[in-house]
Amino acid sequence: MLERTIAFLGAGNMAEALIKGLLRSGTARPDAVLATGRRTDRLQVLQSTYGVRTLTDNVAAAREADIIVLSVKPQAMDKLLVQVAPVLDHSKLIISVAAGVPIAALERRLGAGARIIRTMPNTPSLVGAGACALSRGEHASDEDLAVASRIFQAVGITTVVDENLLDAVTGLSGSGPAYIFLVIEALSDAGVKVGLPRYTALKLAAQTVLGSAQLLIETNAHPGQLKDQVTSPGGTAIAGLHTLEAGGLRTTLINAVEAATRRAKELGEQFLEKSGG
């Protein structure tokens, strides 16, 4: 258990996912968790559901906590940093979940020496199946990185990468759920087209994606090997795969990840400019 107070500045979906995971796993106690937000109705829901403390005052929460999770949307980050910077001394660990906000931009607002961990989680964290990459700033310690990893392991898997790879993580696993939802929707539409009821088609498509991913993870096999196990000579799967290759599915997915990565880089550059870089 983390014997530290954690404050989530911004009580959105990701903050709730992390709060839920931390409490469910026993990583944190409810009385050691604070959450802030502008909507009092939202804060009341978090308080009644999880038993955590809630405030509308970001400064008060930041002053009290040992670990500060910056969980506002990227466009609100600069205003939040200006607000709380005076009470964030270097004894506190700062964790950011905002996409496209570089560590350098955070340091400019929080001062040299700030202990910062930048993360890129994804929305499956809401159901405990997230994928999160973490990068540490110059002044964050090995222990700081371990603490941040424990927090995100409460809602899925974690991996550590250099910060210059976080835009690529954003393009792949950060944006990836949107690609997979589109695949599931398309498979479901196809099922309806060939005669299946909508609910049945959607249920089968979603479980097929879930089960295929689980098979890959548990066997640690190469996806090409698992694909070959499904395809038999002159069979149905190879006919379908031929159509997918002819339609450029592989190239389209690669292009999607590249496009999202470029956009993440652009957003990071814009935020640096805004913060005086």
**What integer is the mean pLDDT of 226-254?**
97
Q: Does residue 9 have a known ligand-binding role?
A: yes
Contacts of 68 (CB under 8 A, 6+ apart): 7, 9, 62, 84, 88, 92, 93, 94, 95
**What integer is the mean pLDDT of 243-254?**
97
**What integer is the mean pLDDT of 155-165?**
97
Structure letter (DSSP) for residue 119? E
**According to the model, what pLDDT value does residue 111 have?**
87
Fill in the amino acid letter for 236: T
Percent of the chain at pLDDT > 70 equals 99
| Helix residue spans in the chain (DSSP H) | 13-25, 40-50, 58-64, 74-84, 103-110, 142-153, 166-169, 176-193, 198-219, 223-230, 236-246, 249-274
d(CA 212, CA 228): 13
* Chain segment 183-216, per-residue pLDDT in tens: 999 999 999 999 999 999 999 999 999 999 999 9
How far is Cα of residue 171 from the mean position of the Cα atoms in its chain? 12
d(CA 177, CA 170): 11
Percent of the chain at pLDDT > 90 equals 90
In order, the DSSP letters of 169-189 are HIIIIITHHHHHHHHHHHHHH
Contacts of 189 (CB under 8 A, 6+ apart): 201
Indicate the average pLDDT of the chain.
95
Q: What's the pLDDT band for 274 if we cut at 50, 70, 90?
A: confident
Q: What's the pLDDT band for 4 if we cut at 50, 70, 90?
A: very high
Opening angle at CA 243, ends 242 and 248, nearest 5:
100
- HEC secondary structure over 33-85: EEEECCCHHHHHHHHHHHCCEEECCHHHHHHHCCEEEECCCHHHHHHHHHHHH
β-strand 130-136 against 115-120: which pairing, if any?
antiparallel
Q: Does residue 234 have a known ligand-binding role?
A: no
Q: What's the pLDDT band for 2 if we cut at 50, 70, 90?
A: confident
CATH 1.10.3730.10 positions along the chain are 175-259
Weakest mean pLDDT among 128-142, 158-172, 263-277 = 263-277
**According to the model, what pLDDT value does residue 272 have?**
84
Distances (CA, A) of 78 to 61, 70, 275: 17, 11, 7
Question: What phi and psi, each to the nearest 5 degrees, are found at residue 15?
Answer: -60, -45
The residues that bridge with 160 in the sheet, in sequence order, are: 134
CATH 3.40.50.720 positions along the chain are 6-163
Structure letter (DSSP) for residue 132? E
Task: Considering the domain delimited by 6-163, tell me its CATH architecture.
Answer: 3-Layer(aba) Sandwich (3.40)
**What integer is the mean pLDDT of 24-38?**
95
Q: Does residue 164 have a known ligand-binding role?
A: no
Q: pTM for the complete prediction?
A: 0.93
Which pair of structure tokens corresponds to residue 183?
Answer: 């695949």
Q: Does residue 14 have a known ligand-binding role?
A: yes
Which pair of structure tokens corresponds to residue 41?
Answer: 């109705």
Q: Does residue 11 have a known ligand-binding role?
A: yes
d(CA 273, CA 167): 17
* Chain segment 71-128, per-residue pLDDT in tens: 999 889 999 999 999 999 999 999 999 988 999 999 999 988 999 999 999 999 999 9
Residue 277 has pLDDT above 60, yes or no: no
CATH number for the segment(s) 175-259: 1.10.3730.10
**According to the model, what pLDDT value does residue 237 have?**
97
